[in-house]
Amino acid sequence: MDWNLFWNNLLAECQNIAIRLVSAVLLLIIGRFLIKFVVKKLSGSKLMGKTDAMVHQFVMAFVRISLYVILAASIVAILGVPMASIVAVIGSIGLAISLAVQGALGNLASGIMLLVFKPFRIGDYIESEEYSGTVSDMGVFYTTLLSTDNRTVVIPNKLLTESTIVNYSTQEKRRLDIQLDVAYGSDLELVKQTVLEVAARHGEVLNDPSPSVRLTEMRDSSLRVTLKLWCANSDYWALKYSLLEEILEEFGNAGIDIPFPQLDVHVKK
């Protein structure tokens, strides 16, 4: 055995491995820097500035993931792993992963559908099944809502595309319905007049269409009247609470009784 040739080959191989490792590390460092630079430039570009906030977040997440995948493949190639082997391994892994993450792929497809059809936007208040809140983030796989009591609700995109979505923010005006129960025998004209006077004191109430109060139901222990009025979407909740408080006070001043559930029992001897 020629030991000189052996040691020379071993040294050359070690040098080759060292060069590949150094190159891979440099590529990792430079690649991460370039990805952050590209993502930042793209995010601040005029084209992305004109897009919807939800589209912007979705596209940036997709671009970032794609660039990191390309970087990882490049590093593996520099380390000397044959691309054919990489493709075969990726194919095998991809098949196994696709079977294991069918839900994730469904969420990805659903995210694209939400992006295209735009049933809601960032900042909209929506309701879907038992979830409701303001849309704070639209991701590749999940949509994040912020509830009125400041809870973060993360919903898989697939659930949103498979259920009914109620969007309360698309229209500028919204109708406010307030149901009020009064006792049998109450003067309905006085009830209507009292409720309309309270509504008239609020500038948030729109005059077109004008507010209305009508008897809508004769219940077991009460007469139900309903106040219907229109207001700006942003005034809805504050106006509703103010009207309820003031109507309760004015009913007391006018002597209008608010009944409670009761049952009359007749005993036959």
* Full-model pTM: 0.59
Fold designation for 119-167: SH3 type barrels. (2.30.30)
Fold designation for 3-100: Helix Hairpins (1.10.287)
Which range among 14-28, 81-95, 178-192, 208-222 shows the weakest confidence by mean pLDDT? 81-95
Architecture of domain 173-254: 2-Layer Sandwich (3.30)
Q: pLDDT band at residue 11, thresholds of 50, 70 and 90?
A: confident
Query: Which pLDDT score, from 0 to 100, does residue 173 have?
Result: 93
- pLDDT tens digits for range 235-258: 999 999 999 999 999 999 999 998
φ/ψ region of 211 (left if φ > 0, alpha if ψ in -120 to 50, else beta) reads: beta
- pLDDT tens digits for range 170-185: 899 999 999 999 999 8
- Enumerate the domain spans of the chain: 3-100, 119-167, 173-254
